[in-house]
Amino acid sequence: MTLILPDRYSPVLDLMETQLAIKELKDHFERILAATLRLTRVSAPLFVLPETGLNDDLSGTERPVSFGIGEDNDRPCQVVQSLAKWKRAALADYGFAAGTGLYTDMNAIRRDEETDNLHSLYVDQWDWEKVIGREDRSEEYLKETVRCIYRAFVSAQGHINALFPKLHSKLPNEIAFISSQELLDLYPDKTPKERENAFLREHGAACITQIGWPLSDGKPHDGRAPDYDDWDLNADILFYNEILDCAYEISSMGIRVDERSMPLQLKAAGCMERMERTYHKDLMAGRLPLTIGGGIGQSRLCMFYLEKAHIGEVQASVWPEQEKTACREHGIRLL
């Protein structure tokens, strides 16, 4: 995605209204999400030791931010890129029962991100994870969880629109489901992003499932790390962003890998050496629970509901000078 500069853009809320709305929106959505999915808030790390295997490798190409621990002979440590693996280990440590789980505020730095309207070097999201039974590792359980989360999105929309009447409703009552292969079949001549844009313009909100394995054209819909989501049981939740006229990913989630699916995906990705890490050994030995989980972008949620054209209008980060100048000239005020 390149920087989009909407014509005649003018923010609906001023700076102070925006800050008040961000607080209201985050507080309300967090409460609804926790109650809906039976989640308890816990504290989470900002950095981890690389040898634990707990850091998220994302699509496998992103470089984590690293530093040396001064009091430990500069022992290397990494800022987290997400908490996908840490959460699963934490569920075991805390002893959560099946049907319950945790959520946390995740803050990360993604140094290789190419910034634009939706992407920042700074990432803030609600990371959540829930213990499930073996019988819950199914497409239907995944879809029902997506529906629960979507109801929280609709609730948050109603809450913030009532407090700030200048904002207007955007989401449909129901979310549409489609697999990545079905999306390719529907739009065979389009790129993955063009497929998402076309489908979201029609449906308003959608859940795209089964992301990671190569499709019938020999290419995956999108990259996925091979050792947290099960590529047969994962999903992206997207909205249609009217201001930017594009599909807008708000959450990536899925039923996590088990002792059968993880080796298959590691082999397919050429990453079998990860099996020697602590996290992977624990999973294969049955010391980690079966789980479902995901991340929900906090700034993206605020950007969408508050009708902002750039994520930098709802979070403070660092932007290239050229991007800051272009935004300023088009009425987009970055924090």
Which residues does the annotation mark as catalytic?
Answer: 56, 110, 125, 236, 249, 252
Q: CB under 8 Å to 272, separation ≥6 — which residues?
A: 263, 266
Q: Inter-axis angle of helices 139-163 and 15-37, to 10 degrees?
A: 150
CA distances from 296 to 10, 110, 123, 152 (A): 26, 16, 10, 12
Place of tokens 């089964």: 210
Burial 80-106 (b: 16+ CB within 10 A, else e): bbbbbbbbbbbbeeeebeeeebbbbbb
Residue 230 burial class via C-beta count within 10 angstroms: exposed 0-12, middle 13-18, buried 19 and up: buried
Asked if 308 and 334 touch (Cβ cutoff 8 Å), the reply is no
Strands 229-241 and 291-297: unpaired
Q: Angle at the Cα of 127 (from 45 to 176), degrees rounded to 5?
A: 165
Cα(228)–Cα(257) distance, rounded to whole angstroms? 6
Asked if 211 and 236 touch (Cβ cutoff 8 Å), the reply is yes
Cα(231)–Cα(211) distance, rounded to whole angstroms? 6
Q: What is the three-state SS of 283-316?
A: HHCCCCCCEEEEEEEHHHHHHHHCCCCCHHHCCC
